[in-house]
């Protein structure tokens, strides 16, 4: 084995191939602590050429590799075994070019998402992908997982934000697909196969990203409503009032807001009572637009008159906007104070969300009456984190032992409404069973054929996405 490591060191340099157990921990620790992970080492190539040489070297030795970005993925996509090598992209962290006229940015795959957002902002532009892990996840990981986040409603998923990519294939060849074109209709679009492939088809080393005008005007409101149906009615009227400039329309349950207010020091109840559901709505415009604001105010007043809205506040300043938006972030963190939590990341057609919610609440009540639904999510995309926290008097591990059964209850209901069991986090190893349960044989056959075409010897992230 030391001969193998020496071979890797000859490619990337001594300092960039690590095998010391204590140094490996950061790269093998799994986000949710659900899986044991280990590896024979982590290698940090410093260029596309080095990634290619590492892959050729591993292929020649039959060594399986696990590509890794910031290791913030939620589906165990970077879990490795002691016989596998982690290939971490963190040294490929260069922003290669910002093209203000083309409104594109070319980046290496190891760039941290927040740094990309910052570089776009410095050029007066916006890279709209935004999610809780943006301070540590890498754009290569975002592309490999087709990450979503809070701005999908207006700008789409990562898939919609990537014009081109560069990928090193399982045999070490480099596919140079750094396309900067808005239109390019030349046969099968390989880019889309790699986006969302979770490291199973190739290692992404660079990308061309789409940028947008920076929104100099932002209207943030927090709204209390009685039902999810009312929230959807409100969404339709806010879309119309904002001329479809609604960037986020986030749903939070009473339980999640109450928990954040109770446990997070910086949170206060934004109203003088709690409501069954809350909406955080964000409307962006290129510059502050008083008329747009007045149309939003009118829409909210009308919704209040029509008993759709029970209470609402519109932020008066940037700091107030930030405070309202922090509530949405804090409900995720606050969940931990209730003990163990069984997570879901489902999507249903937006109009089916109220029925999905009713059915899912009923199913949980029937199965475990004391368990506490803690739903929140990107209502504007129909994507819900219908999480369930443990009954207060149940042992955490006993509750988490119900993970599979509770997942099945919720996923079956999403499936019933023609929904998805994984709307933004992907498959990794966590949802392999669901792939087999909910995808057709035809689709599974095609997916397996694609995998074996791109990675005939199964050395790229084996055992992830598809069995």
Q: Which of 50, 166, 198, 330 is in the footprint of ligand FAD by CB under 6 A? A: 198
Q: Which of 28, 71, 256, 407 is in the footprint of ligand FAD by CB under 6 A? A: 71
DSSP per-residue string spanning 248-272: EEEEEEHHHHHHHHHH-TT---SSS
Q: Which of 98, 116, 137, 409 is in the footprint of ligand FAD by CB under 6 A? A: 137
For Cα atoms 342, 348, 349, give the angle at the middle one, nearest 5 degrees: 160
138 part of the interface to ligand FAD, by CB under 6 A:
yes
List, in order, residues 6 or more apart from 124 with CB less than 8 Å away: 100, 213, 214
CB of 112 to ligand FAD, least distance (A): 8
CB of 27 to ligand FAD, least distance (A): 9
Residue 109 has, within 13 A of its CA and on its CB side, a CA count of 32
Cβ proximity to ligand FAD, 37 vs 253, nearer residue:
37
Token pair 């709690």 is at which residue? 274
CB of 183 to ligand FAD, least distance (A): 26
CB of 426 to ligand FAD, least distance (A): 7
74 part of the interface to ligand FAD, by CB under 6 A:
yes
Cβ proximity to ligand FAD, 89 vs 241, nearer residue:
89
CB of 171 to ligand FAD, least distance (A): 16
For residues 233 and 256, the answer to whether their CB atoms sit within 8 Å is no
Token output for 156: 């789409």
Cα dihedral value 269, 270, 276, 279, nearest 10: -140
Footprint of ligand FAD on residues 382-441 (CB under 6 A)?
A: 424-425, 428
Phi/psi at 342 (5° precision): -100, 125
Q: Which of 145, 151, 242, 387 is in the footprint of ligand FAD by CB under 6 A? A: 145
Region of 65-73, 183-191, 398-406, 447-455 interacting with ligand FAD (CB under 6 A): 65-73
Comparing every residue's Cβ against ligand FAD, the nearest one is: 141
Closest to 171 (Cα-Cα) out of 56, 60, 63: 56
| Helical H segments across 204-344, by residue range | 228-241, 254-263, 290-305, 318-334
149 part of the interface to ligand FAD, by CB under 6 A:
yes
Cβ proximity to ligand FAD, 74 vs 314, nearer residue:
74
DSSP state of 78: T
Region of 41-49, 144-152, 178-186, 357-365 interacting with ligand FAD (CB under 6 A): 144-152
148 part of the interface to ligand FAD, by CB under 6 A:
yes
* DSSP H or E segment with residue 447: helix 441-454
Strand, coil or helix: what is 188? coil
List, in order, residues 6 or more apart from 139 with CB less than 8 Å away: 69, 107, 109, 110, 111, 112, 113, 116, 207, 209
Question: What is the pattern of x (binds ligand FAD, CB under 6 A) and - over residues 201-240?
Answer: --xx------------------------------------
Q: Which of 109, 116, 331, 342 is in the footprint of ligand FAD by CB under 6 A? A: 109
List, in order, residues 6 or more apart from 290 with CB less than 8 Å away: none
Region of 8-16, 137-145, 215-223, 318-326 interacting with ligand FAD (CB under 6 A): 137-145
User: Which chain residues interact with ligand FAD by CB under 6 A?
Assistant: 31, 66-74, 77-78, 89, 109, 131-133, 137-138, 140-142, 144-145, 147-149, 198-199, 203-204, 424-425, 428, 461, 464
């Amino acid at each position: 084995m030391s001969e193998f490591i020496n071979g890797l060191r000859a490619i990337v340099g001594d300092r960039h191939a690590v095998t010391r157990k204590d140094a490996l921990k950061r790269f093998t620790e799994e986000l949710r602590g659900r899986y044991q992970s280990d590896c024979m080492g982590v290698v940090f190539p410093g260029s596309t050429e080095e990634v290619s040489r590492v892959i050729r070297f591993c292929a020649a030795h039959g060594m399986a590799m696990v590509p890794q970005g910031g290791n913030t993925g939620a589906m165990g996509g970077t879990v490795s075994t002691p016989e596998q090598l982690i290939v971490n992209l963190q040294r490929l962290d260069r922003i290669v070019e910002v093209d203000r006229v083309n409104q594109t940015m070319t980046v290496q795959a190891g760039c941290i998402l927040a740094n990309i957002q910052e570089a776009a902002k410095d050029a007066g532009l916006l890279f709209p992908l935004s999610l809780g892990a943006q301070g540590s996840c890498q754009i290569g990981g975002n592309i490999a997982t087709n990450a979503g986040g809070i701005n999908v409603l207006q700008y789409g998923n990562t898939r919609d934000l990537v014009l081109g990519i560069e990928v090193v294939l399982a045999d070490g060849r480099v596919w140079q697909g750094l396309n900067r074109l808005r239109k390019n209709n030349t046969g099968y679009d390989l880019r889309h196969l790699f986006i969302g492939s979770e490291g199973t088809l190739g290692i992404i080393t660079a990308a061309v990203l789409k940028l947008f005008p920076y929104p100099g005007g932002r209207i943030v409101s927090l709204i209390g409503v009685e039902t999810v149906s009312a929230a959807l009615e409100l969404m339709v009227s806010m879309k119309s009032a904002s001329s479809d400039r609604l960037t986020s329309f986030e749903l939070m349950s009473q339980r999640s807001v109450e928990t954040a207010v109770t446990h997070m020091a910086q949170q206060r109840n934004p109203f003088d009572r709690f409501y069954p559901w809350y909406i955080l709505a964000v409307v962006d415009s290129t510059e502050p637009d008083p008329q747009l604001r007045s149309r939003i105010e009118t829409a909210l007043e009308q919704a209040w008159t029509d008993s759709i809205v029970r209470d609402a506040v519109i932020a008066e300043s940037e700091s107030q906007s930030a405070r309202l938006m922090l509530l949405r972030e804090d409900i995720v963190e606050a969940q931990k104070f209730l003990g163990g939590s069984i997570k879901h990341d489902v999507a249903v057609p937006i109009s089916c969300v109220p029925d999905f919610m009713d059915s899912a609440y009923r199913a949980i009540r029937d199965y475990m009456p004391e368990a506490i639904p803690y739903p929140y999510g990107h209502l504007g995309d129909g994507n819900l984190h219908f999480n369930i926290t443990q009954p207060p008097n149940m042992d955490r591990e006993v509750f988490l032992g119900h993970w599979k059964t509770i997942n099945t209850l919720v996923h079956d209901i999403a499936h019933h409404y023609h929904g998805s069991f994984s709307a933004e986090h992907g498959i990794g190893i966590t949802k392999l069973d669901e792939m087999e349960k909910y995808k057709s044989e035809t689709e599974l056959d095609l997916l397996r054929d694609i995998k074996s075409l791109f990675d005939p010897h199964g050395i790229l992230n084996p055992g992830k996405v598809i069995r």
